[in-house]
Amino acid sequence: MFLSVEDVQTGLFLTGYITDQVTTTTVYLAAKLNKPILLEGPPGSGKTELAYAVAKATNAEVERLQCFEGINEEKAIGKFDEALQRLAVELRSKSGQMDWEAVKEELHSQRFFSAGPLLRALQYKKPCVLLIDELDKVNQAFEAMLLEVLSVWQLSVPKLGVIRAETIPFVILTSNEERRIGDPLRRRSFYLRIEHPTPEREAKILQLRTPKQSPGFHRGMAGLAKALRGWSLEKPPSISEMLDLSQALETLGRDQITPEMRDILLPLLAKTEADRKKLLLRDGFASLIYDARQYSAEATNE
């Protein structure tokens, strides 16, 4: 999928995904060694986006398995299309002669199976990106089923048989850590923690998304992000929330945040009642802006 670590770096950059050397090297090695990457980190830190960026950079398709509580194998692997099977039997019986054994075999072939994302991911001729998103929502039984796919790259489906991968997909597993992912899956994966970015990297990301604003604005926003994250908020802002804030300021025609803007910006900055109260403290917001100015110097965005 990639020729070198630099190739990953450039490829991801061109899709607008700005990351560090640890991530690019891990992506390169995971692609070379056919290892899944398990990504953990705060919401909005770019876990899901990394899968889409890798796909875009390599021109690959994405198969996404969105996990949720109570997800079953049918959703992930697929199921026989019973309506189609019934129709086929009716048509055959109308046509007179029917070799029941042959029909039974045909009905249990892939032609009558409607594949889910896991099965589809194994059937591409060229590697696809298989995104198993929010894996912490599933139970242990489901996780055990995934082990078969991710270790031997095959799936056993009752009546259909064993389906082996045409090519091995590039797999990204994400988790928000609501439940601890088991050790067998961890052992088979590379583990990447995505934390909030440095002010320098955040300024670059903001620059890509709000290109009309000045470098000073992007540095200022990156400084504000760092200041807010140092405030022990219940819900510190993620990259995506800083992008929202930057776009909001652009929409309002403002190129910086001043203490008087506190009230109108609160809905974007504080996402819980406790955080709102904290930012409403007397002089709280003004001192936040002061900290942000200090931190913005760290975001030298060339």
Ligand X SMILES: Nc1ncnc2c1ncn2[C@@H]1O[C@H](COP(=O)(O)OP(=O)(O)OP(=O)(O)O)[C@@H](O)[C@H]1O
Nearest approach, Cβ of residue 133 and Mg ion (Å): 6
Q: Is 45 among the residues that bind ligand X (CB under 6 A)?
A: yes
What is the rounded distance in angstroms from the CA atom of residue 65 to the CA atom of residue 63?
Answer: 7
Q: Is 40 among the residues that bind ligand X (CB under 6 A)?
A: no
Q: Is 230 among the residues that bind ligand X (CB under 6 A)?
A: no
Q: Which is nearer to ligand X, 78 or 133 (CB)?
A: 133
Partner from ligand X, Mg ion, none contacting 160, C-beta within 5 to 8 A by type: none
Query: In this structure, what are the phi and psi dihedrals at residue 120, rounded to the nearest 5 degrees?
Result: -60, -40
Stretch that binds ligand X, among 55-63, 142-150, 212-220, 237-245 (CB under 6 A): 237-245
Q: Is 169 among the residues that bind ligand X (CB under 6 A)?
A: no
What is the rounded distance in angstroms from the CA atom of residue 176 to the CA atom of residue 138?
Answer: 12
What is the rounded distance in angstroms from the CA atom of residue 85 to the CA atom of residue 83?
Answer: 5
What is the rounded distance in angstroms from the CA atom of residue 239 to the CA atom of residue 196?
Answer: 7
| Helix (H), strand (E) at residue 63 | strand 62-66
Q: Is 237 among the residues that bind ligand X (CB under 6 A)?
A: no
Stretch that binds ligand X, among 40-48, 80-88, 211-219, 253-261 (CB under 6 A): 40-48
Asked if residues 263 and 230 have their Cβ atoms less than 8 Å apart, the reply is: no
Q: Which structure tokens are listed for 46?
A: 């770019």
- Beta-carbon contacts of 278 under 8 Å, excluding residues fewer than 6 positions away, are 231, 233, 270, 284
Q: Which is nearer to Mg ion, 24 or 174 (CB)?
A: 174
SS3 for 193? strand
Angle formed at CA 156 by CA 101 and CA 174, multiple of 5 degrees: 145
Question: Exposed, middle or buried by CB within 10 Å (0-12, 13-18, 19+), for 103?
Answer: middle
Q: Is 198 among the residues that bind ligand X (CB under 6 A)?
A: no
Q: Is 176 among the residues that bind ligand X (CB under 6 A)?
A: yes
Residues 112-151 as x/- pattern, contact with ligand X by CB under 6 A: ----------------------------------------
Partner from Mg ion, ligand X, none contacting 257, C-beta within 5 to 8 A by type: none
Partner from ligand X, Mg ion, none contacting 161, C-beta within 5 to 8 A by type: none
Q: Is 49 among the residues that bind ligand X (CB under 6 A)?
A: yes
Q: Which residue is nearest to ligand X (CB)?
A: 46
Binding region for ligand X (CB under 6 A): 16-19, 43-49, 174, 176, 205, 239-240, 243
